[in-house]
Chains A and B, each alone.
Chain A
Amino acid sequence: MTDVNEDAQSGPCPCCQDKTQPEARPSEGRRSLLKAVGLGALASVLPALSGKPARAAAEPADMTTQIGDQLTRFQQSRRGPSLVLDDIKMSSKQLLVLPKDPETGIVRENDRRNQILLQRFPMEELSEQTQAISADGLVAYTAVCTHDGCPVTAWDRKTDTYMCPCHQSQFDPRNMGTLVAGPAYRPLPALPLALDEDGVIRVARDYTTPVGFGTKI
């Protein structure tokens, strides 16, 4: 556990790094550890992961998404309460959410890369790879469009895909955020989720690919 705490303290931004910094992925150490603990063990591991203040970031609200974070709604009037599995209706439009520090309850609202899309599907509708990052059919992706960075907040009922309101790029949430149409450059990075023992939704691991836009990643 000592290693885990050390790792959690090592930087402000394990999840979504500045695109000018090439090291946008977590250290191998953390990745292999999470693989080792597996989802079953995560509930007990997560508080320890996130409970310490980070060294480099001044305030939890300024930090980017951390492993172990809980999620809350983006909308100002409903921001705060942690989301649980039952809050997310099956197969409804994606919800725009933000991560929050589970220790202090502070919402990490100051870095726009923290905006996350949350949605829930019957597990069998998800691709095999997507199932591996899903918790009970819940899937999460960055809201930052890989084209020019707009929040991907629209849902196209006709094709059952996310649609970016800025230039209509479309991404498939059942299949790792695959780019289906539009001018974007690559799939939407996915954020692996877990549920803790109270059904509270948590960030399980780092994004599958770096968050950012344009071709200059």
Chain B
Amino acid sequence: MKTPETTKPRRAGFAGTISVLALAVAAQPISAQDLTKLVKPIENYSTVTKERLVEADPSDWLLPKGNYEGWMYSELDQINKDNVKNLKPVWLYSTNLDSGHQAPAIVNDGVMFVATPYNHVLALDAATGQLFWRYEHDNPPDLAVMHNTSRGVALWGDRVFAAGLDGTLNALDARTGERLCQAEIGDWSIGAYITSAPMPVEGNILVGPSGGEFGVRGFMQATDAETCEQAWRTYSIPGPGEPGHETWLAEGPRPDAWKYGGGSMWMPGNYDAENEVVYWGVGNGSPWLGDQRPGDNLYVASVVAMDPEDGEIVGHHQYHWNDSWDWAGMNAPMLIDLEDDGETKPGLLTPQRNGYMFWLERHEDGEIGFMDGKPYVYNNAFASMDPETGRFTYDPEHTPVTGKRVGYCPSLWGGKNYPYDAYNPNTGLLYVPVNENLCNSFIGIFQDDVDPASGQFWAGIDIPDLEVTVREKGKSIGEIQAWDVNTREMVWKREYGNTMNWGSVLTTAGGLVFNAGTNDRQIRALDADTGEVLWTFPLNSTSIAPPVSYTVDGKQYIAVTAGYGVDADWTNGVIGAQFEPGEWNTDVPVGGVIWVFAVED
């Protein structure tokens, strides 16, 4: 870390957690003039409280996925199957920036906050699109990151929290955009930059850095929303003496592999506010080759349950042991009730990057039980699954190793990547943005000419050796699937053809499913029961950000930000090169625009 830290054990048997002394950079307000363009202060700003976050009133969109459970669901039904054909843009706003726009609009009582690449935050009137203020984060001039994006802001009290690519967390005055204090969380120069949306939980703001391709040991940090001081930090890879450390065998050429073993927590988690347990996803192992870090490698490619008080890991489920495919488990499972053996149980449901959907049980104390796992895309690496524990056996033919070319499906981007799936309690269906029919191969290398955590790519492959292939030309790649959460069967799917799907899903009580993310720039509304396309609209660029819904003065809006970039842009070029001209659309312009739609009376 940039700033020296002091480690102080909290109590005996404290699992996976290291408490660190406060690491707040400054409580000095930085002049709004320096970093913030203030057009008009926001009047009568509605303070965000735990109660409001738990309630998740549908007029707002206060959390990245709409509610603490992570549903991507809006109870609003003014826009519905009957009138969605009349949905029209009512205002647009250009972010004036390129690169991948991946943040949902966060809406609080008629005020919209949008985070952008390069870490700008825009505060806008959600009904008119008029700017209140724009914060431009002071990233260092020599910054470099693999993903120049931001996945949203957090709201707590009268503050907006924005993480910086430079590894900082910044508390802004919601009314003026003035920066009030800042915490240094990750050291971007070693690869620990932040793209995740921070999460407000019980007065702390939780966020962790990226770095799984750079030899960074992942962690989650809670920062006090008032003081910007560190409340706790929990590493996703247990250190010596902590439970789970034994799953990092001190064998082979890198006996200390756990120190740079990856496991970034780079997507926002979910929260069980009743039992006070947070659920977070843990990313891929670093380097990608599992044989360079023998053992199961907890908590890589897992969900962990943590106590929000102190960050203690109180439960976990590892989706697959000794990850060798870059199949990060970064998306936390959503919290829903599930039927199992004729009983309704508090559950966790998640389609994972490894191509499997997991049904898990959550216990009050945070322990996580296994219910079921099923593939939703073709996976040739997992040979069998223990029905009791969910533990897989692997096909060595399709498990990457050092020193040889190995191919596998789904591709390293997974059956789905970071975009959110959505759950509609009215239909009982889970809607999953899927990429089927993609595979890849690479040659594993032992990178001893590059130091881990030196800011250099350290994934254990030479990137020109990465070959991405379409398994069956003519078969669709991007699609959306609808799964009955209780029968555990797919009910419908819609195929998008020669495109990947990088779009998060929103579902509403109007019986609709919204999804963009395809290289034809379309956003579409589907019938939530049948998957029939009811409405489409071509955006300025492909949207890879979650659509959201809210009301102002009782009128329902749908908001989505378009702005192609980072991995979506990369994969589109790489896969497009395998097709004949005209077969695949590689012409997707970049440029961020916030689009807001409504049905006019």
Contacts and interface: CB of A to CB of B under 8 A. Distances in A.
Interface of A: 17-20, 74-77, 96, 111-114, 144-145, 148-151, 153-158, 163-168, 181-183, 185, 212-216
A153 B464 contact: no
List of 3 A-B pairs having minimum Cβ-Cβ separation, nearest first: A149-B144, A18-B141, A167-B570
B567 interface: yes
B143 A112 contact: yes
Q: Chain A's interface: helix, strand, loop or mixed, by majority?
A: loop
A24 to B, nearest CB: 10
* Interface-central residue, B143, B449, B464, by most chain A CB under 10 Å: B464
A64 B537 CA distance: 48
B527 to A, nearest CB: 35
A163 B463 contact: yes
* Interface-central residue, B141, B449, B457, by most chain A CB under 10 Å: B141
Given A148-B144, A149-B148, A156-B464, 20 more contacts: A111-B142, A112-B142, A112-B144, A113-B142, A144-B144, A149-B145, A151-B456, A154-B464, A165-B457, A165-B459, A166-B570, A167-B566, A168-B570, A181-B573, A182-B570, A183-B569, A214-B98, A214-B99, A215-B98, A216-B118
Contacts of B309: none
B188 to A, nearest CB: 9
Nearest to A13: B141
B510 interface: no
Interface residues of B, number: 34
Contacts, number: 96
A75 B144 CA distance: 18
Contacts of A96: 456
B455 interface: yes
Contact of B449 (A75, A213, A215): A75
Contacts of B570: 166-168, 182-183
Nearest to A73: B449
A75 B451 contact: yes
B88 interface: no
18 contacts: A18-B141, A74-B454, A75-B449, A75-B451, A112-B455, A144-B142, A149-B143, A153-B450, A157-B464, A164-B463, A165-B457, A167-B567, A168-B464, A168-B466, A183-B565, A183-B573, A213-B148, A214-B118
Interface of B: 97-99, 117-118, 141-148, 189, 213, 449-451, 454-457, 459, 462-464, 466, 565-567, 569-570, 573-574
Contacts of B574: 168
A17 B532 CA distance: 53
Given A153-B456, A167-B567, A148 B573 contact: no
Contact of A168 (B97, B99, B117, B463): B463
Contacts of B99: 148, 214
A165 B463 contact: yes
B464 A214 contact: no
A148 B454 contact: no
Contacts of A111: 142
Contacts of A74: 454, 456
Nearest to B461: A165
A144 B141 CA distance: 12
Contacts of A150: 144-146, 457
B444 to A, nearest CB: 15
A134 B469 CA distance: 38
Given A154-B457, A183-B565, A216-B118, A166 B146 contact: yes
A149 B140 CA distance: 12
B528 to A, nearest CB: 34
A146 to B, nearest CB: 11
A83 to B, nearest CB: 15
